[in-house]
Amino acid sequence: MSSTIIVNRQNGIVELCFDRPDKKNALTTTMYEAMADALTDIAGDPSVRVVLFTGNGGSFTAGNDLKDFLANPPSSPDAPVFRFLRALASSPAVLVAAVSGPAVGIGTTLLLHCDLVLAGESARFSLPFVNLGLVPEAASSLLLPRLIGHQRAAQLMLLGEPFDAQAALGYGLVNKILPDSALAAAAWELAGKLAAKAPAALLLTKKLLKSESISVADRMIEEARDFRAQLDSSEFREAATAFFEKRPPDFSGKPKDC
């Protein structure tokens, strides 16, 4: 798809790997276009359950490549960066990120759209928008205060000072910190666990977690609707049968031996 985005598909998982290690994986227009196209394709592919974001060469991403950004400013809603952000925010798949080294700007804000985030000990996060004379993107001015509160979000966004993996863990931005050497294997193990779950139940639960109900009562109605549908599903029958047969459930859809 692109020499700077590696796409790796296997067993219901699609890895999108930033691959400009000599530039600390700074993102270009071409890379945004490749990721927007990939996420759009994934949204129409029910076999994909998990998207895993990674970076090569000890970096997640240093954010936008400023030289490319100035040469190709996003001047319309259809600009690749905005297409990517819309596809990211609306992705039906479970989004997982494995972060090591710098995660600058979009490298941090995209994590607010992820469902699970693992960080290596070297991970360093920053939101330098104001320092660059810019404002936040990716709905981060809404999502970050929701996650960590207004004052702490204001500290990170108005000052733009970097913070480490331990701080990110304290904020709830990441789920777990691992040695850098163990990060890739742990991320794939996590993605594999998710991909092995009952697919409809997994993706419906992600959708419920991300949806914007106006009240508790509305959320209960949404949950009841999906719960009733899942009671009639082959997934629930397999889970119940496996429980009584004292075996792990198999949601692969492959026929079972008689």
Q: Is residue 160 part of a domain?
A: yes
Same domain, yes or no, for 62 and 143? Answer: yes
pLDDT at 257 over 60: no
Same domain, yes or no, for 111 and 234? Answer: no
Q: Is residue 175 part of a domain?
A: yes
Same domain, yes or no, for 214 and 148? Answer: no
Q: Please tell me the predicted confidence (pLDDT) of residue 221.
A: 84
Same domain, yes or no, for 9 and 91? Answer: yes
Cα Rg of the chain (Å, integer): 19
Give the C-alpha separation, 15 to 11, whole Å. Answer: 11
DSSP sequence for 190-219: HHHHHHTS-HHHHHHHHHHHH---SSHHHH
Using alpha carbons only, give the angle 111, 113, 119 rounded to the nearest 5 degrees: 25
Same domain, yes or no, for 44 and 151? Answer: yes
Q: What is the DSSP letter of 99?
A: E
Same domain, yes or no, for 190 and 204? Answer: no
Q: Please tell me the predicted confidence (pLDDT) of residue 258.
A: 40
Categorize the per-residue pLDDT at 256 as very low, low, confident or very high, splitting at 50, 70 and 90.
low
Same domain, yes or no, for 105 and 189? Answer: yes
Same domain, yes or no, for 181 and 210? Answer: no
The string of pLDDT tens digits covering residues 201-242 is 999 999 999 988 778 788 778 878 888 889 899 999 999 999
Amino acid (1-letter code) at residue 126: S
Residue 211 domain boundaries: 199-244
Q: Is residue 84 part of a domain?
A: yes
Q: Is residue 100 part of a domain?
A: yes
Give the CATH number, domain containing residue 186. 3.90.226.10
pLDDT at 1 over 70: no
pLDDT at 255 over 70: no
Find all residues with CB under 8 Å of 252, minimum gap 6, and list them. 196
40-44, 71-75, 124-128, 234-238: least confidently modelled range: 71-75
Same domain, yes or no, for 223 and 179? Answer: no
Strand-pair category, 124-126 with 176-178: unpaired
The string of pLDDT tens digits covering residues 14-23 is 999 999 999 9
Q: Please tell me the predicted confidence (pLDDT) of residue 141.
A: 94
Same domain, yes or no, for 86 and 209? Answer: no
Give the C-alpha separation, 22 to 47, whole Å. Answer: 34
**Total number of residues shown for the chain:** 258
Q: Is residue 257 part of a domain?
A: no
The string of pLDDT tens digits covering residues 103-127 is 999 999 999 999 999 999 999 999 9
Q: Please tell me the predicted confidence (pLDDT) of residue 72.
A: 87
Same domain, yes or no, for 149 and 210? Answer: no
Q: Please tell me the predicted confidence (pLDDT) of residue 89.
A: 94
Find all residues with CB under 8 Å of 139, minimum gap 6, and list them. 89, 112
What average pLDDT is seen over the chain? 93
Maximum CA extent, the chain? 66
Q: Is residue 250 part of a domain?
A: no
Same domain, yes or no, for 94 and 70? Answer: yes
- The number of distinct structural domains making up the chain is 2
Q: Please tell me the predicted confidence (pLDDT) of residue 216.
A: 78
Q: Is residue 252 part of a domain?
A: no
This prediction's pTM: 0.91
Q: Is residue 117 part of a domain?
A: yes
Residue that is written with structure tokens 């071409």 in the block: 30
